[in-house]
Structure 1
């Protein structure tokens, strides 16, 4: 028996911790959130992902109580949170700037909210010790924020946010101030801490890699709406629209016209180019516009035309992005369509088979691409 997977959203018995019910938020004539209904479950690490201005921060501010919905309701544990002031909610928020008190020690920063609530001294000491251990800051309790690194300050802010054991912790671009290597390490720390505390985390980020790394589910937003909320694997492998496919990771999107054929579709996409072939759960009518989204790692790149794959196109290497372990080739077809293909760099640079301007064949299976309506 393997471990039971954590998928409360697939369990009809599971009660959501947070329920958005037809929530709309307007600022004057501008609609920031447009009639959204969705659930977040206990112990989830839920990511709101999207470009600037898509509404993700407004969602979070409504959860925190800094904004009220114009229409609809937000329930926390089955209770409408609109009448409850921010400081009385079982919700805490960690800001991008960390907002630590510079004159207080790390210990006092973590203890601040507990003292304000009038908790007994021994209880405060026990809780702060627990938080320092959880965030691996035991040695730094007496230091001031300016005496520790950015990554450590980030952990102090997290410890302070979790000290009061909120049901829900909101994280607004929490890793934005950290450099790339530290961000990566901190992502795993965040996941670890979230798992140990069992607190529900909702993170706002515009960094797709971050969302895909830390989250149990990712909600991809655009223009005040959640376009798709799903596990990282499904968002990547089974996007529900060209927007989501394009937003997450590297992808080539080929626009064409679909015609049913056998157990799939033929896709006409350019003059003088052979039809492409794809399978799909979506039903297309003959001649309907479709978008074929293909990830570069699903492509095979070769010097000779392969005869074992249903899709094969010929083009010229326009660009090569060398990423150490991988190279991404941008291959231009005669009609101008550019397709990205990725290959692992198993050989030394001098022994690699392809370079700029080379004519190559790209090929892929009928199930490698996702056929979408738009």
Structure 2
């Protein structure tokens, strides 16, 4: 029994930081070729039990090929894939503890919601008398009890998505693969369903691997994200780390909005640099740089628009201040975005929260303004 006023267990779920943790899924030097085309190039990756793992990247980057190899629909050209310590070579899809949920949902239109969920269980080795309890458990989990007797065409897109999810989870797979599962939903419903997915994944403890090209979706649902390009994983990390400390220009540019300023680095102290990016202007001061950069190296300074403030006068509380002219303004309701051109021609985007109702704009087109940001606000990238 816990002692009075004792703190609850707040252990962070991060098995990838534990050197003794055994991954559920292992990719080891996996390459997949289709003729002369290399879809996956020498990929090594670990995914852990109970993770909600996202494969994120543009169309054609190889993420769906990875998923199809996990499901058993494709075999690696080279390398090894393990699930639960077992080599998946020559293991057919129906003998893997894996289920896959497709973007189309693939529901049987002539069957009720109940019978769609029960379909796979009736063809499994589950005793018949246990099937109703399992189906009802899935209906409760996905909040579909009221719709059990309806056909797929009689329910909404979001409800059909939950039926497909319930059917996929009914056989209690170790691993559930989700291929763009929310792509058919409108934006608002997609955002609501993202949180439902997270809640269901946490309740079941099933490992989810989701394929998506939607950055916000991956950043919302995933415990870790793998950013892919041309069959190669560029970075694997938690959503905050991917966003705040990208390891390359590609990742910084792919995830969210970012300003990329090319320049030359000069060391000014421990973990501190100045980035010269144009003649006749002050260099960008950077601290808390996590990696060593060679003197005079060509680098890219990456800073998110929300890290930059727009002011009429030079900001005294910011290490960096740049003067420029407003070229464009975007009003998004909760945010206003300013495109500011610096004297050297560099365009910088700054995003400001509209904390109060706007009766008139503080700044307008062609205004001269100052942009300010802290020395720790951006990252220096050499790749």
How far has the Cα of 1:118 moved from its partner? Answer: 4.4
Map residues 210-359 of structure 1 onto 2, 5 A cutoff: 210-263=217-270, 264-279=272-287, 280-359=289-368
Q: Distance in 2 between matches of 1:117 and 1:364?
A: 60
1:290-345 Cα distance to aligned partner (Å, 9 max, x none): 11110111111100012332211111111112111111111111221111111111
TM-score by length of 1: 0.98
TM-score by length of 2: 0.96
Q: String of CA shifts for 1:72-131, please: whole Å, max 9, x gaps.
A: 000001100121100110000000000001011111100011111143222110100000
Q: Distance in 1 between matches of 2:319 and 2:121?
A: 64
200-209 vs 82-91, which deviates more?
Answer: 82-91
How far apart, in 2, do the equivalents of 1:182 and 1:199 lie?
Answer: 23
Aligned to 2:374: 365
Q: Does 1:88 align with 2:72?
A: no
1:55 maps to which residue? Answer: 62
Q: What runs of 5+ residues in structure 1 fail to find an aligned partner?
A: none
Deviations 1:231-277 (A, max 9, x none): 00100111111111111111101010001113311111012222111
CA contact (8 A) 1:162 1:169 kept: yes
For residues 130-149 of structure 1, what are the structure 2 equivalents within 5 Å? Answer: 130-149=137-156
1:45 aligns with 2:52: yes
Q: Distance in 2 between matches of 1:88 and 1:285?
A: 53
Does the 8 Å contact 1:282/1:372 carry over to 2? no
**2:118 alignment partner in structure 1:** 111
Q: Are 2:183 and 1:176 aligned?
A: yes
Equivalent residue pairs, number: 374
Map residues 150-169 of structure 1 onto 2, 5 A cutoff: 150-169=157-176
For 2:76, which of 57, 69, 75 is the aligned residue?
Answer: 69
Taking the aligned partners of 1:82 and 1:338, their CA distance within structure 2 comes to: 51
Paired position in structure 2 for 1:14: 21
Structure 1 CA distance for aligned equivalents of residues 46 and 117 of structure 2: 31
- 8 A Cα contact 1:255 1:289, kept in partner: yes
Query: Does the 8 Å contact 1:111/1:160 carry over to 2?
Result: yes
Q: Which ranges of structure 2 fall in alignment gaps of 5 or more residues? A: 1-6
Please state how far the C-alpha of 1:349 moved relative to its aligned partner.
Answer: 2.1
In structure 2, what is the Cα distance between the partners aligned to 1:293 and 1:258? 13
| Contact preservation (8 Å) 1:54, 1:224 | yes
